[in-house]
Amino acid sequence: MRVPALPRSEPLVDRSPPEVRTSRRRLRACHECDWLVALPPLRPGEKADCPRCGHTLVTRHFRPAQRSMALALSALLALAMAISFPFVSFSIGGIGNRIELSQTATTLIGFHQPIVAIAVILTIIVLPAVYLLGVIWLQLGLLRNDPLPASRGIARSLAHLNPWMMADVFIIGALVSLIKIAEMAQIELGMSFWAFCAFALLLLLTTQSIDSDWMWFSLAGEPLAPEGAKTGQTAAPQGLAGCATCGLVNRLEPGRHSHCRRCGERLQARLPQSLQRTWALLAAATVMYIPANVYPIMTTTNLGNSSPSTIIGGVVELIQMGSWPVALVIFVASVIVPVGKVVALAWLCLVVERSHELNAATRTRLYRVTEFIGRWSMVDVFVVAILVALIRAGSLMSITPGPAALAFGAVVVITMLSAMTFDPRLIWDTPLPRRSRAAPGSTRQGTPG
């Protein structure tokens, strides 16, 4: 469905939110509990939450296209500066080294760690740049009231890229790295470091500025809701499914692969073999976590003496140096988070069929936490990448990556995939019903966007 054109003097992005341009119900099925609700009219700064589990369904922003365009352009400019100038330098005993941002990945290739190098360059530069270019392409078309070619495919890709962009995690890794060597050498931060800090902040603001509901309505309108859809009930028993990408509620076709009428994403009432896949990935993460802790994650050479260091050994060294806050960050990110995530997801898989509505909400909140914290375990991998590139002063002082870097990076990726394969709607499939339920629509006032 093509959005009706407005006069050029009244931009689509300013004057025509979805609530104004359609008079029929706009249904959404919660991605976490499958509750079917009708979206209420929303003003800028408001959000609609699921009345059953509290998951945010839609967040309305003020001037969404202009905001996202400005932030994306600023972030892309900051990234260009971060790539173009020196990142950080160190000196000790008249010997030093200066690196650029890209060298934190390319140096690893020389130490036979190409997979870790690819993961670093993808998560901090390539995927964020692709994301920002996609946002600019989309919003440029919407500002012109004429979507550019391939806009729907790009819009689908944005949601899939979001979890794998880790510029903010890299900044924490950089700070940890600098604190670890500050007492041994003189550190000088380059313009690239500050530009990358600005880039990480602007990238985060860009991702938060995307009004997915408004964007998809502007790209492809709002097809009619399926006939007979009843709000205040779960969608699956009605033969309905909400699209995880654009949010549109579609009717599933029995015995056939169904796709969203608006964005083309494949539809499924529940993720197939969700528990089996989650168990398999958790088992793989557990196996990989053993070499990640047994083998050294890096080897430090100081005055000709080499000292391998495991993850736990690095934490102990930081404590002995008096850097308790940094040691705590590494311990939480490298030990507590991956172990806690595996335990939490395993427990959710075990109890998913014994949920009732009083604890389903708590278990859903636990799932949200495990899904959010998984990426922060990459801090240790980024610390290794930065130190290996920076500390290269021969036998006087140098750092080389150990085999545990690859194993630990695999643990982070696998646990993130395990959270993605777990379907939180299974928690709500067999709960005991309450006698009273909340209304099938809810709004909560937010700060003006």
Cα end-to-end span (Å), the chain: 28
* Cross-strand partners of 401: 298
pLDDT in tens, 255-289: 778 889 888 888 888 888 999 999 999 999 999 99
Does residue 75 belong to any structural domain of this protein? no
* Cross-strand partners of 92: 95
Does residue 359 belong to any structural domain of this protein? yes
Confidence of residue 304 (pLDDT cuts 50, 70, 90): low
H or E stretch covering 434: none
User: Nearest to residue 274, comparing CAs of 421, 98, 139?
Assistant: 421
* Cross-strand partners of 47: 59, 444
In percent, the amount of the chain with pLDDT more than 70 equals 88
| pLDDT for the residue 3 | 39
pLDDT in tens, 407-449: 999 999 999 999 999 999 999 986 545 443 444 444 444 433 3
Indicate whether 389 pLDDT > 70: yes
| pLDDT for the residue 309 | 85
The structure tokens listed for 236 are: 């699956």
Does residue 277 belong to any structural domain of this protein? yes
In percent, the amount of the chain with pLDDT more than 90 equals 45
Does residue 312 belong to any structural domain of this protein? yes
H or E stretch covering 170: helix 167-181
pLDDT in tens, 93-135: 667 788 899 999 999 998 889 999 999 999 999 999 999 999 9
Residues contacting 41, CB < 8 A, separation 6+: 19
pLDDT in tens, 57-103: 999 888 888 999 999 999 999 999 999 999 998 887 667 788 899 99
User: Which string of DSSP letters, residue by residue, matches 371-421?
Assistant: HHHGGGGGHHHHHHHHHHHH-EETTTEEEEE-THHHHHHHHHHHHHHHHHH
Indicate whether 310 pLDDT > 50: yes
Compare 133 and 321 and report the one with higher pLDDT.
133
- Dihedral angle of Cα 152, 155, 161, 167, to the nearest 10 degrees: 140
CB 71 within 8 A of CB 177: no
Domain that residue 314 falls in: 271-432
Does residue 281 belong to any structural domain of this protein? yes
Does residue 280 belong to any structural domain of this protein? yes
Count of domains in the chain? 1
Give the dihedral sign, CA 189/190/192/194: positive
Count of alpha carbons within 13 angstroms of residue 425, beta-carbon side? 23
CATH of the domain at 321: 1.20.140
Does residue 393 belong to any structural domain of this protein? yes
Distances (CA, A) of 281 to 285, 300, 354, 414: 6, 33, 22, 6
Helix 379-390 vs helix 167-181: crossing angle, to nearest 10: 50
Does residue 287 belong to any structural domain of this protein? yes
pTM score, whole prediction: 0.86
Distances (CA, A) of 93 to 30, 90, 182, 299, 303: 60, 10, 14, 21, 11
pLDDT in tens, 325-358: 888 888 888 889 999 999 999 999 998 877 666 6
